[in-house]
Amino acid sequence: MTRKGCHLCDQAQATLEAAGVEVVPLDVDADAELLRLYDFRVPVVLRHGKVAAEGRISSTDVQRILG
């Protein structure tokens, strides 16, 4: 989950892509339900439909998610 103009979202996407993860960004501001669920939590990484990480996403977080 991401939003335009979010520097943490941009950093999270770069960190995920550097680890070889394909990122499919979903803009929370484009969907009322996503906005309700994730508004103040972005960036949020989902894996298999569940929250795997949120906020400042580090390479350590990515390795834990992929582990």
Q: How confident is the model at residue 52 (pLDDT cuts 50, 70, 90)?
A: very high
Question: Does residue 1 form part of some domain?
Answer: no
H/E stretch holding 65: helix 59-66
Look up the CATH number of the domain holding residue 24: 3.40.30
Total domain count, the chain: 1
* Domain extent at residue 16: 7-66
Mean pLDDT of 50-65: 95
Q: What is the pLDDT of residue 6?
A: 97
Question: Does residue 11 form part of some domain?
Answer: yes
Mean pLDDT of 5-30: 96
Q: What is the pLDDT of residue 32?
A: 97
Q: How confident is the model at residue 67 (pLDDT cuts 50, 70, 90)?
A: confident
Question: Does residue 15 form part of some domain?
Answer: yes
Q: How far apart are CA 19 and CA 53, in angstroms?
A: 15
